[in-house]
């Protein structure tokens, strides 16, 4: 197998162990991912990004540690982290099964149940390439409006992927956020970017979560992200989750509220129809709510 000398040397310096071979890993437009085979027989993956923003890989490593401490959904072990890269245990992927999905639903509920000190996180982070403000606020509606929606509304307008009229529609939802948010819940320990690309269905029978934007948030946010972009055996995941940790009445009606954030992030990063989709979600929320 081919050996990428520069990547191998970087990994060897960080790990203190030899690299036998390297293999490019497909997928991802933010980082370059390379599979490593180490001299002790282990597999690892190194993610690199030249001139990465300050704390980019550190926040990811901290998020994985924090989620792993919950003892719920599985996360890969962080082997090394530096300003320009992150090295993790390699998770051998396999085909998703209903049984794995059922177990993952229960494990995700356990992660959420571990809780968080506040709505937010000690340090700002990243979601994809986008900065992610995390400064805590006392309630989830305040946090969601101020840290998850309005910064991206402004950025999307500046980018031209959201019109001023569309922005006004989303702002109208934020003015009603306390009515739309449902019953108050304590901060949950959430992944924060839980789409299917950040789930690895492992050959060991476990389901692993990667690339977190971890923070104290609302547990419906992770479920909304899964529902927005789809996931294998999604219904089995949701049913198993709700058996383990029943959700407040009307949670499915609130999914468009939680989906505003990822849609706006995509509008900022990719443009296209994401601004219109965020506006449609806002209109759906407003049509179902009368003041």
Catalytic machinery residues: 193
Question: Would you say 284 and 169 are in contact if contact means Cβ atoms under 8 Å apart?
Answer: no
Of the candidates 139, 135, 146, 138, the one whose C-alpha atom is nearest the C-alpha of residue 171 is 146
Phi first, then psi, for residue 182 (nearest 5°) are 80, -175
Helix, strand, coil percent values for the chain (each to nearest 5):
45, 20, 35
Question: Would you say 45 and 144 are in contact if contact means Cβ atoms under 8 Å apart?
Answer: no
Of the candidates 272, 221, 211, the one whose C-alpha atom is nearest the C-alpha of residue 29 is 211
Question: Would you say 238 and 102 are in contact if contact means Cβ atoms under 8 Å apart?
Answer: no
Q: Token pair of 145, please? A: 């409006």
């Amino acid at each position: 197998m081919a050996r990428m000398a520069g990547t191998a040397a970087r990994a060897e310096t960080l790990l203190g162990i030899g690299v036998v071979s390297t293999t490019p890993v497909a997928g991802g437009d933010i980082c370059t991912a390379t599979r490593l085979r180490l001299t002790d027989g282990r597999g690892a993956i190194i993610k690199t990004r030249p001139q990465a923003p300050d704390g980019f890989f550190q926040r990811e490593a901290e998020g994985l540690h924090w989620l792993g401490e919950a003892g719920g959904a599985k996360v890969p072990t962080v082997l090394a982290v530096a300003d320009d890269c992150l090295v993790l245990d390699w998770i051998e992927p396999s085909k998703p099964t209903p049984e794995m999905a059922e177990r993952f639903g229960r494990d995700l509920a356990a992660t959420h149940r571990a809780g968080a000190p506040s709505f937010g996180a000690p340090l700002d982070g990243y979601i994809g390439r986008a900065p992610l403000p995390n400064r805590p606020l006392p309630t989830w509606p305040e946090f969601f409006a101020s840290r998850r929606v309005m910064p991206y509304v402004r950025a999307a307008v500046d980018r031209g992927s959201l019109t001023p009229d569309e922005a006004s529609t989303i702002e109208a939802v934020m003015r009603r956020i306390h009515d739309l948010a449902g019953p108050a819940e304590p901060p949950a320990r959430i992944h924060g970017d839980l789409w299917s690309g950040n789930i690895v269905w492992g050959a060991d029978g476990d389901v692993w979560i990667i690339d977190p934007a971890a923070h104290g948030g609302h547990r419906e946010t992770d479920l909304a992200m899964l529902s927005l972009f789809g996931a294998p055996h999604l219904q089995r995941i949701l049913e198993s989750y709700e058996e383990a940790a029943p959700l407040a009445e009307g949670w499915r009606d609130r999914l468009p509220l939680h989906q505003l954030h990822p849609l706006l992030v995509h509008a900022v990063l990719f443009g296209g129809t994401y601004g219109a989709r965020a506006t449609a979600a806002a209109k759906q929320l407003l049509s179902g709510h009368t003041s």
